[in-house]
Structure 1
Amino acid sequence: MAIREIIEVPNPLLKRVSDPVEKFDDELKTLVDDMFETMYDAPGIGLAAIQVGVPLRVLVIDLQPEDEDAEPVPCDHDGHHHHHQPTKKEPRLFINPEILDPSDEMKAYQEGCLSVPDIFAEVDRPATCRVRWQDLEGKTHEEDMDGLMAVCIQHEMDHLNGIVFIDHLSRLKRNMALKKLQKLRAA
């Protein structure tokens, strides 16, 4: 397992359309392991292979919901004593995913992206969708997605088609986001 470098805008690879996975082999398994490790380290809730520079149709997602059953963990990173609700790991892997029937109903959600660090913006997407994908063995699955999972899978699937979430914004808002990013980088 290794943490791989996450590429950031304006890296041209982020505009590339990723290729379908055809070989379900050890190399793919290593890529997936590395993607999970990279995502958790970032930390993020979703990562597409292209974000670590590999143009394959592979997504990892873990919404890491708060674990209601666990005891809150004290954390003291800023001199104040807080309790931090631990999260559950619920790793999900999607290979060659397709969106089958996005709902007409749209939902706005404040999105961010590991390839566009520290920038958040509201994006409208279908509120629910059905997704078909393959697992590491190449077996096909289908599931209806809603809530944050629907948002996240659509956001990650955009990466496979060369789209970053700020591409959904008006040109003005996108330029503002990119300017802000440049400022943050310069700081």
Structure 2
Amino acid sequence: MTVQPIVFFPDQRLRQVAAPVVAFDKSLHDLSIDLLDTLRAAPGIGITGPHIGINLRVVVLDLPTSDAPEFYVNPEITWLSDDKVQNEEGSISMPEISAPVERPTSIKIRYADLHGNIHEGEAAGLRSVCLQHEIDQLNGIFWLQRLSSLRRNRLIARYKKLGHA
């Protein structure tokens, strides 16, 4: 389909809670393909509707460990493990910036596919981290908010110095 323009930090649309998808139709399918094309062009491994200015609860993951891209509509985390892990995170909405973020090692998730069928599953490792990161984005939580204010301010200063903001 089409590579879409990415919404860049500090755009306030990245802080809005995304609306649930209610129509599982051709426009949702087209959006999912646009998200995948945009993700691959960025490049990245995860993207949401808000990353391209579409305020809908759609996540696309294209993980190096997967055979095919994964599409999650209206995802919600139903359980988080007590065990934590730190992973380097960043965002296609904030290029060239990353930092370690601590998150639960595994989760349980409930979501719809592109046809509206409901699924439940578990995720661990990179998939778990990516889903948590992207669901945060759908909830208006940009990944920087998971950092201390000191680290966040340093990263924002570096981002501005790179000429992005």
| Same fold, TM-score > 0.5, yes or no | yes
Cα distance in 2, alignment partners of residues 105 and 159 from structure 1: 22
Larger radius of gyration: 1
Cα distance in 2, alignment partners of residues 50 and 89 from structure 1: 25
The unaligned stretches of length 5 or more in structure 1 are 66-87
What is the percentage of aligned positions where both structures have the same residue?
40
Cα distance in 2, alignment partners of residues 11 and 22 from structure 1: 25
Report whether the alignment pairs 1:176 with 2:154: yes
Q: 1:120 aligns with which of 95, 98, 108?
A: 98
Number of equivalences: 164
Cα distance in 1, alignment partners of residues 100 and 64 from structure 2: 21
Aligned to 2:33: 33
Report whether the alignment pairs 1:95 with 2:73: yes
Aligned to 1:97, the other structure's residue is in SS state: strand
Cα distance in 1, alignment partners of residues 140 and 71 from structure 2: 19
Report whether the alignment pairs 1:129 with 2:125: no
Aligned to 2:85: 107
* 1:1-187 pair list within 5 angstroms: 1-65=1-65, 89-185=67-163
What is the aligned-residue RMSD (CA, Å)?
Answer: 1.0
The unaligned stretches of length 5 or more in structure 2 are none
Cα distance in 2, alignment partners of residues 41 and 94 from structure 1: 20
Opposite residue 46 of structure 1, the aligned amino acid is: G
Opposite residue 8 of structure 2, the aligned amino acid is: E
TM-score by length of 1: 0.85
Deviation string 1:123-159 (CA, Å, 9 cap, x unpaired) is 1111000111001110011111000000000000011
TM-score by length of 2: 0.97
Instruction: State the 1:164 CA deviation.
Output: 1.1
CA contact (8 A) 1:60 1:93 kept: yes
The structure 1 segments of at least 4 consecutive aligned residues displaced by more than 6 Å after TM superposition are none
Instruction: State the 1:89 CA deviation.
Output: 4.5
